[in-house]
Structure formats: structure tokens, C-alpha cells
Amino acid sequence: MKIISEFKDFIAKGNVMDLAVGVIIGGAFGGIVKSLVDDVITPAILNPALKAANVADLALLKTDGGILYGKFLAAVIGFLVISFVIFLMVKSLNKIKKTEEEISTPSGPTQEELLTQIRDLLKK
């Protein structure tokens, strides 16, 4: 019975719940990115290249030796899109944090400057 209580304590920790939420959102985000690559980027950007190669689907691209490199190319494009979106998200979050820090930082003299002024006034 001790193992059940330990498991309950483990599950109740905040880190495990945060991780679970992250995995679920990550899975959903992966579906969105896959759709973006398959339904938007591939038709808009890669269709001319696919037509030139006489291939209907990116995954069917292969060399003369029969090596399928289309799936790999699709995975690389998906990785680049995910990386770029995460970069934009982190950049925007950093910008928000920076503006919050600027707002929370009081304008005017610092504590050291005030103490120096008080010291100088006391000397006089």
C-alpha cells in the first residue's frame, strides 16, 4: 500500500501535471504544424518543384537508385517550421517580459542615490 501512496504523491506534484499538459499541447501543436506543411507550404511553395520532378506527393520523391528522400524532406520542412514558430513564441515572450520589467522598474533615483543624498544632507 505504500507504493500506491507514493504514486499518488508523485502524480499530485505540479511538475508532473505541467509535463502532461505540455505533452498534450505538443501533440496538438504537432498536428497543426503537419497540416501547415502538408496543406499550405507544400502546395504553395513546393508544387512547382514537385511538378518539375513529375511527382504528385512530396513523400514519393526518390532518387534514380530508388532512395525515398521525400519523407525526409517533409520531416526537415516540418522541423524548420516548428523551430521557427517556437523562435517567434520565445521572442514575443521575451519582449513581453522586457516590457513588464520596464513597467515594474520605478523611475527616479535608486535606493543608493537616495541614501547618498540623505548622507550628504546630514553632513551639511
- Say whether pLDDT at 12 is over 70: yes
CA atoms of 40 and 50, how far apart (whole Å): 14
**Stated pTM of the model:** 0.51
CA atoms of 5 and 120, how far apart (whole Å): 63
**Could you say which of 1.10.260, 3.40.640, 1.10.1200, 3.30.70 is the CATH number of the domain covering 2-123?**
1.10.1200
The pLDDT value given to residue 106: 65
pLDDT in tens, 29-49: 888 877 877 788 767 777 777
Backbone CA torsion sign across 37, 40, 46, 47: positive
Q: For 13-17, 65-69, 97-101, 116-120, which range has the lowest pLDDT when averaged over its residues?
A: 13-17
Count of CB atoms within 10 A of residue 103's CB? 8
Tell me if 33 sits within 8 A of 78, measured CB to CB. yes
**For the chain, domain boundaries:** 2-123
The pLDDT value given to residue 37: 73
The pLDDT value given to residue 69: 81
CA atoms within 13 A of residue 101's CA, in its CB half-sphere: 6
The pLDDT value given to residue 105: 64
The pLDDT value given to residue 14: 67
